[in-house]
Structure 1
Amino acid sequence: MNKTKICLTLTCKTIQEDLKIIEKYRPYIDMVELRADYLEEDECLHIRQFPRLANIPCILTIRRRIDGGLYVGGESARTMLFARAMAFADQNKKNNFAYVDFEDDFHIPSLQDACMAFGTRIIRSMHDMNNPVYDIIEKCNSMRKTGYEIPKIAFQPHTLDDVTHLFEVTKNFTDYDHILCAMGSLGTPSRILAHKIHSFLTYTSAPENLSNTNVIGHLDPITLHNIYHFKDLNDDTKIFGITGWPLAHTLSPELHNKGYKKHGMNCVYIPIRTPKLSEAMNFCDKVGVQGMSVTVPHKETVLPELARIDEEVADIRASNTIVKEAGQWCGYNTDASGFMTALKEFLGVDKLRHRRVAIIGAGGAARAIAYAIKKLGGKACIFNRTLINAKIIADKYGFKYAPLAQDSVYDLEMYSDIIIQTTSVGNGYFGPSNESNDPLYFYNFKGNENVYDIIYSPEITPMMSRAIASGCHVSNGYSMLRHQGYKQFKLFTGEEYGDDTN
Structure 2
Amino acid sequence: MRTKICLVLTEPSLKEDLALVEQYRQFIDMVELRADCLLPEERIHFRHFPEMAKLPCILTVRRKSDGGRFLEGEGSRTTIFAQGLAFADTDPKKNFAYIDLEEDLELPSIEEAARAFGTKIIRSVHNMNGPLTGIPQMVKRLRRTKDEIAKIAFMPRNLSDVTQLFREAKKCYGEEYTLLAMGPYGLPSRILASHLGSCITYVLAPSKSGQENSLGQLDPVSINEIYHIRQNTSETKIFGVTGNPLSATLSPQIHNSGYVRQHIDAVYVPLRAESIEEAISFAEETDIPGLSVTFPFKETVLPNLDQISAEAGEIGACNTIIKTEGAWQGYNTDAKGFERALLGFLNRKDLKKLRVSIIGAGGVARAVAHAVKEMKGKACIFNRTPEKARDLARLYNFKWAVLDAGSRSILESYSDVIIQTTNVGMSPQPDEDPIDFYAFSGSEAVYDVIYHPEKTRMLRRAEHAGCRISNGYSMLQYQAYLQYKLFTGIDYENN
Instruction: Answer yes or no: same fold by TM over 0.5.
Output: yes
Write the distance in 1 (CA, Å) between the matches of 2:406 and 2:40.
61
Q: Does the Cα contact within 8 Å between 1:171 and 1:196 map onto a contact in 2? A: no
Residue-by-residue CA offset, 1:12-63 (whole Å, 9 max, x unaligned): 1110111110111111111000011111111111110100000000001111
Q: Does the Cα contact within 8 Å between 2:136 and 2:171 map onto a contact in 1? A: no
Write the distance in 2 (CA, Å) between the matches of 1:221 and 1:271.
17
Give the equivalent residue in structure 2 for 1:78: 77
Larger mean CA deviation between 208-217 and 349-358 belongs to: 208-217
Give the equivalent residue in structure 2 for 1:496: 491
Deviation at residue 438 of structure 1 after TM alignment: 1.1
Write the distance in 1 (CA, Å) between the matches of 2:465 and 2:284.
50
Write the distance in 2 (CA, Å) between the matches of 1:382 and 1:242.
28
Equivalent residues in 2 for 1:121-140, closer than 5 Å: 121-140=120-139
Structure 1: 5+ residue runs without aligned partners? none
Residue-by-residue CA offset, 1:277-317 (whole Å, 9 max, x unaligned): 11111111111001000001111111112222112101101
* Matched residue count: 495
Q: Does the Cα contact within 8 Å between 2:317 and 2:366 map onto a contact in 1? A: yes
Write the distance in 2 (CA, Å) between the matches of 1:118 and 1:211.
40
Write the distance in 2 (CA, Å) between the matches of 1:222 and 1:107.
37
Residue-by-residue CA offset, 1:202-249 (whole Å, 9 max, x unaligned): 000112469787221100111111111101111221111001011111
Give the equivalent residue in structure 2 for 1:400: 399
Q: Does the Cα contact within 8 Å between 1:429 and 1:458 map onto a contact in 2? A: no
Is the alpha carbon distance of 1:380 and 1:252 closer, same or farther for their aligned partners in structure 2, counting shifts above 3 Å? same
Give the equivalent residue in structure 2 for 1:454: 449
Give the equivalent residue in structure 2 for 1:486: 481
Deviation at residue 319 of structure 1 after TM alignment: 0.5
Write the distance in 2 (CA, Å) between the matches of 1:426 and 1:96.
51
When the two structures are superposed, what TM-score results if normalisation uses the length of structure 1? 0.97
Give the equivalent residue in structure 2 for 1:169: 168
SS state at 1:369 partner: helix
Write the distance in 1 (CA, Å) between the matches of 2:391 and 2:211.
46
Query: Counterpart amino acid of 1:103?
Result: E
Give the equivalent residue in structure 2 for 1:97: 96
Give the equivalent residue in structure 2 for 1:22: 21
Write the distance in 2 (CA, Å) between the matches of 1:143 and 1:228.
30
Give the equivalent residue in structure 2 for 1:277: 276
SS state at 1:424 partner: coil
Deviation at residue 172 of structure 1 after TM alignment: 4.5
Equivalent residues in 2 for 1:302-451, closer than 5 Å: 302-428=301-427, 433=431, 437-451=432-446
Give the equivalent residue in structure 2 for 1:476: 471
Q: Does the Cα contact within 8 Å between 1:11 and 1:209 map onto a contact in 2? A: no
Deviation at residue 148 of structure 1 after TM alignment: 2.3
Write the distance in 2 (CA, Å) between the matches of 1:334 and 1:307.
18
Write the distance in 1 (CA, Å) between the matches of 2:186 and 2:248.
16
SS state at 2:44 partner: helix
SS state at 1:218 partner: coil
Query: Counterpart amino acid of 1:469?
Result: H
Q: Does the Cα contact within 8 Å between 1:381 and 1:415 map onto a contact in 2? A: yes
Structure 2: 5+ residue runs without aligned partners? none
Query: Counterpart amino acid of 2:456?
Result: T
Give the equivalent residue in structure 1 for 2:179: 180
SS state at 1:113 partner: helix
Write the distance in 1 (CA, Å) between the matches of 2:245 and 2:484.
23
Deviation at residue 104 of structure 1 after TM alignment: 0.8
Query: Counterpart amino acid of 1:397?
Result: Y
Give the equivalent residue in structure 2 for 1:55: 54
Query: Counterpart amino acid of 1:402?
Result: A
Q: Identity of counterpart residues, as a percentage?
A: 51
Write the distance in 1 (CA, Å) between the matches of 2:442 and 2:362.
27
Query: Counterpart amino acid of 2:426?
Result: N
Write the distance in 2 (CA, Å) between the matches of 1:23 and 1:368.
48
Write the distance in 2 (CA, Å) between the matches of 1:308 and 1:139.
41
Deviation at residue 174 of structure 1 after TM alignment: 2.5
Q: Tell me, yes or no, if structure 1 residue 249 matches structure 2 residue 244.
A: no
Deviation at residue 499 of structure 1 after TM alignment: 5.9
Write the distance in 1 (CA, Å) between the matches of 2:494 and 2:60.
46
Equivalent residues in 2 for 1:2-21, closer than 5 Å: 2-21=1-20
SS state at 2:289 partner: strand
Query: Counterpart amino acid of 2:261?
Result: K
SS state at 1:353 partner: coil
SS state at 2:45 partner: helix
Larger mean CA deviation between 72-81 and 166-175 belongs to: 166-175
CA RMSD of aligned residues (A): 1.4
